[in-house]
A and B are shown apart, each in its own frame.
Chain A
Amino acid sequence: MTLTILALVWGTFSIVILLAFGEGLRFQMTKANHGLGEGIVILRGDQTSKPFQGLGKGRRIFLIEEDVELLKNRVSGIDLISPESERYGNTMTYGQKSIIQSVIGVYPSFEEMRTYYPDWNSRFLNRLDLEKKRRVIFLGTKVKEKIFGGGQAVGNTVLINNIPFVVVGVMRKKMQNSMYNGPDEEKAAIPFSTYKAIYGVKYLDHLIYRPKDISLAETVKKEVYKVLAIKYKFDPGDRQALRIWDTIEEEKTFRKIFIGFQIFLGIMGGLTLMVAGVGVANIMYVSARRRTREVGIKMALGAKRRYVLLQFVSEALMIAFTGGAIGVAFSLLVVQVTQALNLQGGAADFLAHPVISLGTMVLTAFILGLIGFLAGLFPARRAASLNPVEALRYE
């Protein structure tokens, strides 16, 4: 009895914990994926791989700022769009402190697409900054720490290659596990217009857009490809001409992988619980046999068959749910403690934040109920079909 309850406790505990940590991992991974941006597509010019309209293959495609306007006008499904160019090896100075820092030039819409959210009492670059080519700068979390330490950054002026820039914002801390050219916390952003004026570059490193609706993503992607194919005269079927990083499609795949992962964990936990179920069935079988005489007495006193059935099934359910309740209590405790520890950094960011979802609870209760019912049903049916005289004679 104690052993079976223990098995039930362990089974329930493992199913809930496995699913909780799996769910937590998925949640954190998704959050970290969204550190790059949610539902965005990142585009850059590459090389044609097919000849088209008399033009040879191996031609490089260079995107320029005008393409942003062009796509915005031609493709109605685009919600936000921004160019991005990056320059490495700048010297950033504040007072006595100097660091080597890369700088990106972007549009204000970059904030929402790439989750460059400002911390308290600061802001991202805005439309006026862009229009007036202001020398303003938005710092990544790490950059701010390097230059200003714990001190105030916003409102102060830093020098970039001896050109003064006013800090207007600092990035709010975020999780990020997918990136290009390094994490966002080590970036410094200035208006694209200012960037172009200072560095005198024409070409974009990336072009980033977000469709109005995720369901439109595929259509928008095709249209973007078509518009650019016409402008740059390449075959719309040439997959090499543009390099596209579609985070929307990536997330779909990611979600599928995790569903598979959760199913796997659920089955593992479920099997453990099933083993416990065999224990319950055994207990009920022994118990029903030992109480044959009791069944006989009750029948002699007028118990109907369904009463006997109900008695044993409900007892098995009681055992199953008692073990289950203790198991759930334990797993809740472990989850609470793990969350209270609030481990940060490295793998802990992903592994130490378990989440118990309603689905997990419903699944666990369902399996426990099924176990109790089946484990009780068979011994109960045997007991209920006894002949009262024989049951009374049973020793």
Chain B
Amino acid sequence: MIKMNNVTKIYGTGDALVEAIKDVSLEIRGNEFISLIGPSGSGKSTLMNIMGCLDAPTSGEYYFEGVRVSKMNHNRLAEIRNEKIGFVFQSFNLLPYATAFENIEIPLIFKGVSARHRKERVTELLDRVNLGRRARHKPSELSGGEIQRVAIARALANNPRLILADEPTGNLDTKSGDELLKIFDTLWRQGSTLVIVTHNPAIAQKTPRLIRLRDGCIEN
């Protein structure tokens, strides 16, 4: 599903050059459940951004489902992010002025789904994460666990092939964190591919595959 050949990402210019990831090659097959771990500054987020087509590598090649992403234009990248990838951000990243319903609706709007179909789909997603009754609430009126569930529902809106989660349990209490992992587990069993960035070893132990980053390189 994903193939990276010697991917390097450099930030900054001149003396302030930072090599966030160096010469990374990896392959991820469909329906894998992977933890991406490493100390802070090891390049986890950069790698995830490149995987998620949010950022382009400085050098190297990146293939998503056999298509070379590193050569694509903005609009095509936006389409891939919209339809094939679901993001769950560490800081939730819900729009504060929009309700749970409206937040989940956003990727469907960008895909061009009709209002009627959007309503059906959002209602279905809200039920799936047990938030049917909270549809009209704004993020400020929801608990941390509920916000994270809205974020997951939004990530799932367009049935993406790949789900990327950046420190999804970082801001949650243990109970909510466990609940979240249960949802991920279910998604994996239903056939999704998941990559979770974490530095929580307890989570990392539960996933079938582990990628460990150190100083921008993959450790074996």
Residues of the A chain whose Cβ atoms lie less than 8 Å from the Cβ of B158: 302
Among B74, B95, B154, the residue within 8 A (CB) of A305 is B74
In the complex, the chain B residue whose C-beta lies closest to that of A297 is B93
**CB contact list, B36-87 vs A, under 8 A:** 49, 52, 54-55, 74-75, 78-79, 81-83, 87
Among A293, A301, A304, A388, the residue within 8 A (CB) of B106 is A301
Contact B106 A298 (CB under 8 A): yes
Chain B min CB distance to A308 (Å): 10
Q: Assuming the A-B contacts A297-B95, A389-B49, A392-B93, are A302 and B111 also in contact, with contact meaning beta carbons closer than 8 angstroms in the complex?
A: yes
Q: Assuming the A-B contacts A387-B55, A389-B54, A389-B55, are A302 and B78 also in contact, with contact meaning beta carbons closer than 8 angstroms in the complex?
A: yes
Q: Is A334 interfacial (CB-CB < 8 Å)?
A: no
In the complex, the chain B residue whose C-beta lies closest to that of A307 is B110
Q: Secondary structure of the B side of the interface?
A: helix
Bound CA span A294–B154, Å: 15
Bound CA span A302–B79, Å: 6
Contact A294 B110 (CB under 8 A): no
Contact A299 B55 (CB under 8 A): no
Residues of the B chain whose Cβ atoms lie less than 8 Å from the Cβ of A297: 93, 95
Residue among A299, A305, A307 facing the most chain B CB atoms (10 A cut-off): A299
Q: Is A286 interfacial (CB-CB < 8 Å)?
A: no
Q: Is B168 interfacial (CB-CB < 8 Å)?
A: no
Contact with B along A46-86 (1 / 0, CB 8 A): 00000000000000000000000000000000000000000
Chain B min CB distance to A295 (Å): 11
Contact B110 A301 (CB under 8 A): yes
In the complex, the chain A residue whose C-beta lies closest to that of B49 is A389
Using a CB–CB distance below 8 Å, which chain A residues touch chain B?
293-294, 297-305, 307, 387-389, 392
- Beyond contacts A293-B93, A299-B81, A300-B93: 18 other A-B pairs, Cβ-Cβ < 8 A, are A297-B95, A299-B78, A301-B82, A301-B107, A301-B154, A302-B78, A302-B81, A302-B82, A302-B111, A302-B158, A304-B74, A304-B79, A305-B74, A387-B55, A388-B54, A389-B54, A392-B54, A392-B89
Using a CB–CB distance below 8 Å, which chain B residues touch chain A?
49, 52, 54-55, 74-75, 78-79, 81-83, 87, 89, 93, 95, 106-107, 110-111, 154, 158
Closest 7 CB pairs of A and B: A302-B82, A302-B110, A304-B78, A389-B55, A301-B107, A388-B54, A297-B93
